[in-house]
Chain A
Amino acid sequence: MQGPRKWDWTAILLMSPSVAIFLGLLVMPILVVLVLSFGERAEAGGYQAAFTFAQYANLPARWAAFRNTLTLAPLGTVLCLLAAYPLAYYLAVKVSSRNRLLLLILVIVPFWTSFLIRTYAWIFILGGKGLPALLDMIGVPDVRFINTPFAVLVGIVYGYLPLMVFPIFVSLERLDKRLLEASDDLGASPARTFWQITLPLSAPGAVTGCMLVFILLMGEYLIPALLGGGKVFFIGNALVDLFLQSRNWPFGSAVAVSLVVIMLVTVTLYLRVTLRNRGMRDQALV
């Protein structure tokens, strides 16, 4: 197009709500937190203007929260992946299309009740009168689940499984079944066809699922709070503690900024490694 550039009012109108939300609810708060993180804690708690790196220097005091988050979030993501892939494969490939819808609904049925209540239920299952009592009856005494990393991982896999199942399901469903026949025709056994065709072509779905689960897990609060019982806590729990209990906003902000930075770095590295293949970059929903 020639001549002076004109405002495209349709585009501006369409974009403005999301831009407003983006600026007001994402960029602004992050800037506020960034500013707070260089300040000092006021006498009665809260924030007092200053410019100091003291809060960042103090980060090792919350080392345990970082360690727990940075081990259990990736581990939980991997466990979700391992649990979700066979299920998604079954749903996309093996089950008849008549039963598929029913089973897919069953996958999302848990979302019909509150995540809090469902996680609460696990307290009873993993607590003293639940599974440990059952194990005691069959002769395995003194097993403790609740308030252990194991309990937190169980809660993670339980809560985040659907988020992992759906992207993998979609990429397996979209997979052209003729490619499997072509592989079969060219002499690959069913197992080799799975490794060479099905798995690489469903990888974009797995990458997407892992991103979703991992990012959400990095900020997880509820599961460690309920199933970790103050012993296995995440950065999210530390933040609640710092802002609401000790009212140390600057230190809390420094922890929050660190979490954002860690997440940016790990996610970028992860995508660099997994999406080297261009075909995958086109297909992954990230």
Chain B
Amino acid sequence: MAEDGIDVRFDTVSKHFGDVAAVDGISFALRRGSFHSFLGPSGCGKTTSLRLIAGFEQPSAGTVEIAGANMVGIPAYRRPVNMVFQHYALFPHMDVAGNVGYGLRQRKPRPEKSALDRRVAEALELVRLPHLAKRRIWELSGGQQQRVALARALINRPTVLLLDEPLAALDRKLRREMQIELQNLQREVGITFILVTHDQEEALSMSDTIGIMKDGKIVQMGTPEELYDAPVNRYVADFVGESNFWSGEVAASDAGGAAIRLGSGMTLRAAYSRLGAPLKVGETGVIAVRPEVIGLYPPGAAPRDLDCQANVQILNRIYLGDHSEFSVRAEGLGDLLVRLPKAVETAGLEPGAAAVIGWRGNQALALSET
């Protein structure tokens, strides 16, 4: 066990497949007992990172440590980690109990049958499937298979549990349920969970920390709040949540923020992201505004304290129950998305109508392009 409370540490780890660097010199440390996610589009290196921890791949350079021990050169079957595979990879020739007990049966010395049965029953209890021990794998629903895969991995009491897009094959409602269940399970067993996903909602809702990946590198690592409120660049702001973006040349810059001149000639001011780097005058910068911080008002009804205002025409309105999404066209700003909660008065805000949008300057972020 590492003394510093770190379960997984990467030190400038790279993995090359031929000429392609799937993972390109990344370093990070994950605290024991935390729920961590790697988030990114396919091909960003998140799955390769997971496989490097599992031991299915060995790094081309750098070191991988688990619980303080160097794992380079150690095969998967000797590592204290277990994985829940994307399509579960349950053994079709064994029943549920056979699958769940598989890891224990590989131990030397092999546990006695009574102990084995008890542990299997406990593991099935943990994932709330105690009555299915004798079922065949193909008799289970997707959600049940998912739980069996979890029980099969957790029964070995690994230092780290790896989850490779574990919820991708489930339908939306079941996915929500499993997200909550996974989170509860993680708190219950106290094991470090590492999740790989391309679904930002999944990552945001479950994780203590998230690493956003792109082209084999970690672009930003932090808590969901940090990533959402203080993205380091446009890529992160775009990947986590939704934003309206305008790029242009930085016209002025000071300690608190920057003014960016858009292609249309309009200049917008915005504050720097708390974790982003300041911009230099003359380089290309991006203004990012989340759709929920923009206000939308009938003509003449806008509050006076808005820093940025524009006249718009409403193009479309989508009713989404608890909120509505408007797409509007503003002169000099182009098309943008506005999100209003149900509580806000929306009378007169119909498609085709003229309206006013506005936001406060500290709610817009000035970011670098990459």
Give the contacts of B252-276 with A (CB-CB under 8 A): none
- Residue with the highest number of chain B CB atoms closer than 10 Å, among A181, A187, A197, A277: A187
Q: Is the CB of B89 within 8 A of A182?
A: yes
| Known contacts A201-B92, A279-B92; is-contact A184 B76 (Cβ 8 Å) | yes
- 1/0 contact string of A181-197 vs chain B (CB within 8 Å): 11111111110100011
Q: How far is B90's CA from A176's CA once the two chains are assembled, in angstroms?
A: 10
- 1/0 contact string of A167-188 vs chain B (CB within 8 Å): 0000000001011011111111
Give the contacts of A101-130 with B (CB-CB under 8 A): none
Number of A-B contacts (CB under 8 A): 66
Q: Is the CB of B89 within 8 A of A178?
A: yes
Give the contacts of A13-31 with B (CB-CB under 8 A): none
Report the nearest B residue to A201, measured CB to CB: B93
Q: Show 5 residue pairs from A and B whose CB-CB distance is below 8 angstroms, ordered by the A residue.
A: A176-B89, A201-B92, A201-B93, A277-B93, A280-B93
For the complex, is B91 an interface residue (Cβ under 8 Å from A)? yes
For the complex, is B279 an interface residue (Cβ under 8 Å from A)? no
Q: How far is B91's CA from A280's CA once the two chains are assembled, in angstroms?
A: 13
Q: How far is B92's CA from A197's CA once the two chains are assembled, in angstroms?
A: 9
Q: Is the CB of B89 within 8 A of A278?
A: no
For the complex, is A141 an interface residue (Cβ under 8 Å from B)? no
Given contacts A182-B90, A280-B93, 12 further A-B contacts (CB under 8 A): A176-B89, A179-B92, A181-B85, A182-B83, A184-B56, A185-B56, A185-B76, A185-B82, A186-B103, A186-B106, A187-B156, A192-B106
Give the contacts of A71-126 with B (CB-CB under 8 A): none
The residues of B that contact A181 with a CB separation of less than 8 Å are 56, 76, 83, 85, 89
- 1/0 contact string of A268-281 vs chain B (CB within 8 Å): 00000000011110
Q: How far is B99's CA from A182's CA once the two chains are assembled, in angstroms?
A: 10
Q: Count B-side interface residues using an 8 Å CB cutoff.
A: 26
Report the nearest A residue to B86, measured CB to CB: A178
For the complex, is A200 an interface residue (Cβ under 8 Å from B)? yes
Q: How far is B92's CA from A185's CA once the two chains are assembled, in angstroms?
A: 17
Interface residue from B75, B87, B93, B153 paired with A184 (Cβ < 8 Å): B75
Interface residue from A185, A200, A278, A280 paired with B54 (Cβ < 8 Å): A185
**Majority SS of interface residues in chain A?**
helix
The residues of B that contact A196 with a CB separation of less than 8 Å are 102
The residues of A that contact B106 with a CB separation of less than 8 Å are 186-189, 192
Q: How far is B54's CA from A227's CA once the two chains are assembled, in angstroms?
A: 55
- Residue with the highest number of chain A CB atoms closer than 10 Å, among B78, B85, B93: B93
| A276 CB → nearest B CB, Å | 12
Q: Is the CB of A189 within 8 A of B91?
A: no
The residues of B that contact A186 with a CB separation of less than 8 Å are 77, 82, 102-103, 106, 152-153, 156
| B43 CB → nearest A CB, Å | 19
Q: Is the CB of B91 within 8 A of A185?
A: no
Q: How far is B87's CA from A201's CA once the two chains are assembled, in angstroms?
A: 18
Report the nearest A residue to B149, measured CB to CB: A182
Q: Count A-side interface residues using an 8 Å CB cutoff.
A: 22
| A155 CB → nearest B CB, Å | 35
| A115 CB → nearest B CB, Å | 36
The residues of A that contact B103 with a CB separation of less than 8 Å are 186-187
- 1/0 contact string of B52-96 vs chain A (CB within 8 Å): 001110000000000000000001111001110101011111000
For the complex, is B107 an interface residue (Cβ under 8 Å from A)? yes
For the complex, is B136 an interface residue (Cβ under 8 Å from A)? yes
| A199 CB → nearest B CB, Å | 10
Q: Is the CB of B93 within 8 A of A182?
A: no
Q: How far is B90's CA from A201's CA once the two chains are assembled, in angstroms?
A: 12
Q: Is the CB of B56 within 8 A of A182?
A: no
Q: Is the CB of B102 within 8 A of A178?
A: no
Interface residue from A176, A189, A278, A280 paired with B77 (Cβ < 8 Å): A189
Q: Is the CB of A200 within 8 A of B89?
A: no
The residues of B that contact A187 with a CB separation of less than 8 Å are 77-78, 103, 106-107, 156
Report the nearest B residue to A203, measured CB to CB: B93
- 1/0 contact string of B343-370 vs chain A (CB within 8 Å): 0000000000000000000000000000
Give the contacts of B155-176 with A (CB-CB under 8 A): 156
The residues of A that contact B93 with a CB separation of less than 8 Å are 200-201, 277, 279-280
Q: How far is B54's CA from A187's CA once the two chains are assembled, in angstroms?
A: 11
Q: How far is B106's CA from A192's CA once the two chains are assembled, in angstroms?
A: 8
Report the nearest A residue to B137, measured CB to CB: A279
- Residue with the highest number of chain A CB atoms closer than 10 Å, among B75, B77, B81, B138: B77
Q: Is the CB of A178 within 8 A of B156?
A: no
| B86 CB → nearest A CB, Å | 8
Q: How far is B56's CA from A181's CA once the two chains are assembled, in angstroms?
A: 7
| A23 CB → nearest B CB, Å | 37
Report the nearest B residue to A179, measured CB to CB: B89
| B145 CB → nearest A CB, Å | 13
The residues of A that contact B55 with a CB separation of less than 8 Å are 184-185
